[in-house]
Amino acid sequence: MDKSYMKLALKLAARARGRTSPNPMVGAVVVKDGNIVGRGFHQKAGTPHAEIHALREAGSEARGATIYVTLEPCCHYGRTGPCSEAVIQAGIARAVVAMADPNPLVAGKGLKRLEEAGISVTLGVMEEEARRLNEVFLKYIATRLPFVVAKAAVSLDGKIATRSGKSRWITGPEARAYGHLLRDRYDAILVGIGTILADDPALTTRLPGGRGRDPVRVVLDSRGRTPPGAKVLNQSSEAPTIIAVTKEAPFERIAALRGAGAEVLVVSEGPRVDLPALMKLLGAREITSVLIEGGAGVHGSALEAGILDKAAWFIAPKIIGGSEAPGPVGGFGVDDPAEAPELERVKMRRLGKDFYLEGYFKYRGG
pTM of the model: 0.92
Kindly state the helix (H) or strand (E) to which residue 181 belongs, with its residue range.
helix 173-185
Residues belonging to the binding site for NADP(+) are 153, 169, 195, 199, 222, 295-301
Q: Which residues are annotated as catalytic?
A: 51
pLDDT at residue number 155: 96
- pLDDT interval class at 229 (50, 70, 90): very high
Residue 9 near residue 49 (C-beta atoms within 8 A): no
The span from the CA of 324 to the CA of 293, in Å, is: 21
Task: Please give the annotated binding residues, written as ranges.
Answer: 49, 74, 83, 153, 167, 169, 183, 195, 199, 203, 206, 222, 293, 295-301
Cβ atoms of residues 30 and 62 within 8 Å: yes
Which DSSP letter does residue 291 get?
A: E
Q: What is the mean pLDDT of residues 244-267?
A: 96
Mean pLDDT over 92-105 rounds to 93
- Its sign, for the CA torsion 249, 253, 255, 257, is negative
For residue range 158-195, list pLDDT tens digits in order.
999 899 888 888 999 999 999 999 999 999 999 999 99
Q: Evaluate the CA torsion angle 61, 67, 71, 73 in order and state its sign.
A: positive
Binding site for Zn(2+), by residue number, is 49, 74, 83
pLDDT, tens digit, for every residue of 7-49? 999 999 999 999 999 999 999 999 999 999 999 999 998 899 9
Average pLDDT of span 123-134: 97
Domains of the chain are 1-134 (3.40.140.10), 144-362 (3.40.430.10)
Q: Are the CB atoms for 271 and 128 separated by under 8 Å?
A: no
